[in-house]
Structure 1
Amino acid sequence: MAVRIALAGAGLAKVRFAFSPVFETVMAVDGLRVPGAHAVHLPWVAWARERVSTIDDLPVLLDLLEGPVKPALLMPVPDVRMPDLETELADVPARVADVVRRCHEVLVAPFWRRIAAVLEADVAARAALLADRGAAAVFADLHPEVTWADGELVLYGDLRPDRPHSVDLARDGLVLSPSAFCWPRAWAAIDPVGPGVVRYPARGIATLWETAPAAPDALAALVGRTRAALLVLLAGPMSTTELAARLGVTAGAVSQHVGVLRAARLVTTRRDGRAVLHLRTARADALLE
């Protein structure tokens, strides 16, 4: 069945992007519960299984995740672009909040900078699309199970309610929330209080668990390990957000490193439409050799 989200007028004007550390943590645990459903994360699953035994009261959370519909208390709608974990947990019952907090600390926090970089890159790309071509283009590109027509955003799939369900967001608006651990499905709040939310797999998830190519030790000693890894990646043109996702650092940090390398004539930068692409120079090639 389908979830139909009416979105027009003021509601359409209130479309925004945000992501949720609580949702990512809950879906990460769900990925451990049914790893076959989240195959893209199997490298992380193998790592996490060795650590999950240290989480007290984990069955409390696992019991809540049984079934296709997850409790709303575990699916907070983010009220800012990237809310703090503790802010989101303030509305979760104490015992459950303690388990989610511990799960985040053990299973997600070691990779959070990398995950957040992928989510930020997705938001940046879709915000640019929104500015260039409007909301309809953004909706059309979200997910194969999501369509947009006649003022309605429609989600299809076998995790939907067993009967057609309508949500009216003409007044409260919609949060588009990229996610790493919701892959491969798109999700929607079916009974939102206030703004609705559609969660969808972020772009670049396939690269999330890849390791950046190792930089030569001598080059790392000369320019620093992050800048050396950046030069290795720039064998072909890459954007700032792509580099941030691959390196697990912020886009601002990449911009600073690229600025230093560009001043040393090791990197060139050019604009391609709205994207800014970086590429290493022949001088950098000689250093790498």
Structure 2
Amino acid sequence: MHDFFQDCLAGDWPRIRATLESDVALRAHDLARFGVRHVVSRLPGLTVRDTWDEAGAGERGLVLVPSVFRKTGVLLANEAGTLITYPASGHRTLWDESEAAAPGRLGALLGRGRAAALLNIGDGCGTGDLADRLGVSAGTASVHVAALRNGGLVATHRVGKAVRHVLTPIGSALIMAQASAGGSVQRG
């Protein structure tokens, strides 16, 4: 598996991971704001039906797995729950190399560095992690995060001595609007 990953995915992994993390962040915001029915009903290619559990039946779990490789499908359904995979938001532009160096229209709106920072925060990261993803100094990453936070696109939470930056619903929506408008959402 390690050799396969190195040969086939390692070069693209930062972009794949950022795409998946952005999707997870968006779904988490939607889940908190609108509930599970809203999130599940908006997964492409999935039909939601109401079902009634038999009296005394235990609750079943639902695991949603974004993918950049496969269409919507049920991977596993058993008494413990259901695992559903679906195409991650932005998966169509992930492999488009035409604007790989620039974050598309977001770059025109926010500036290339800040747009790249927004796109690379994914489901959350520290300043050092973001700096590594962007290939910039921690100070530069911190300046980008401060500007995005002041604009309401990123929230920062302290966890012990560390800080974690996450997308706000507005930040996630901006990324998704960019993707659905046909713009590139390339990372870095």
Shared fold per TM-score greater than 0.5:
yes
Distance 2:32 2:90 in 1: 21
Matches of residues 51-70 of structure 1 in structure 2 within 5 Å?
none
Deviation (angstroms), 1:142:
0.7
Indicate the residue corresponding to 2:93 in structure 1: 207
Alignment partner, residue 152 of structure 2: 271
Q: State how many pairs are aligned.
A: 141
Distance in 2 between residues matched to 1:240 and 1:170, nearest whole Å: 44
State the match for 2:47 in structure 1: 147
Deviation string 1:172-208 (CA, Å, 9 cap, x unpaired) is 40110000111xx211135547342000000011221
Give the superposition deviation at 1:114.
1.2
Percent same amino acid at aligned positions?
30
Distance 1:104 1:261, change over 3 A: closer
Q: Which amino acid is the alignment partner of residue 127 of structure 1? A: A
1:132-281 pair list within 5 angstroms:
132-143=33-44, 145-151=45-51, 171-182=59-70, 185-192=71-78, 194-211=80-97, 212=99, 214=101, 234-237=107-110, 243-244=119-120, 252=126, 253=130, 257-261=140-144, 269-271=150-152, 274-276=169-171
Rate the CA distance shift 1:189–1:261 in 2: closer, same or farther, 3 A: closer
Measured on the aligned residues, the alpha-carbon RMSD in Å equals 4.0
Contact 1:121 1:241 in 2 (8 A): no
The whole-number CA distance in structure 1 between the counterparts of 2:26 and 2:150 is: 18
Partner amino acid for 1:260?
Answer: V
Query: CA contact under 8 A between 1:240 and 1:251: conserved in structure 2?
Result: no
Extract unaligned runs of 5+ from structure 1.
1-99, 153-168, 215-228, 279-289
Q: Do the aligned partners of 2:18 and 2:119 also contact (CA within 8 Å) in 1?
A: no
Gap change, CA 1:131 and 1:240, over 3 Å in 2:
farther
* 1:41 aligned partner: none
Change (3 A) 1:190 1:180: same
Q: TM-score, normalised by structure 1?
A: 0.39
CA distance in 2, matches of 1:125, 1:241: 16
Give the Cα separation in 1 of the matches to 2:82 and 2:100: 40
Counterpart Cα distance in 1 of 2:116 and 2:94: 16
Counterpart residue identity of residue 186, structure 1: T
> Does the CA contact (< 8 Å) of 1:118 and 1:205 recur in 2?
yes
Seen in structure 2, the aligned counterparts of structure 1 residues 170 and 204 have a Cα distance that, compared at 3 Å, is farther
In structure 1, C-alpha distance between the alignment counterparts of 2:141 and 2:105, rounded to whole Å: 13
Instruction: Sort the Cα spacing of 1:196 and 1:231 in 2 relative to 1 into closer, same or farther, 3 A.
Output: closer
Cα distance, 1:101 vs. partner?
3.5
Cα distance per residue 1:67-122 (max 9 Å; x no partner) = xxxxxxxxxxxxxxxxxxxxxxxxxxxxxxxxx44322210122112111100100
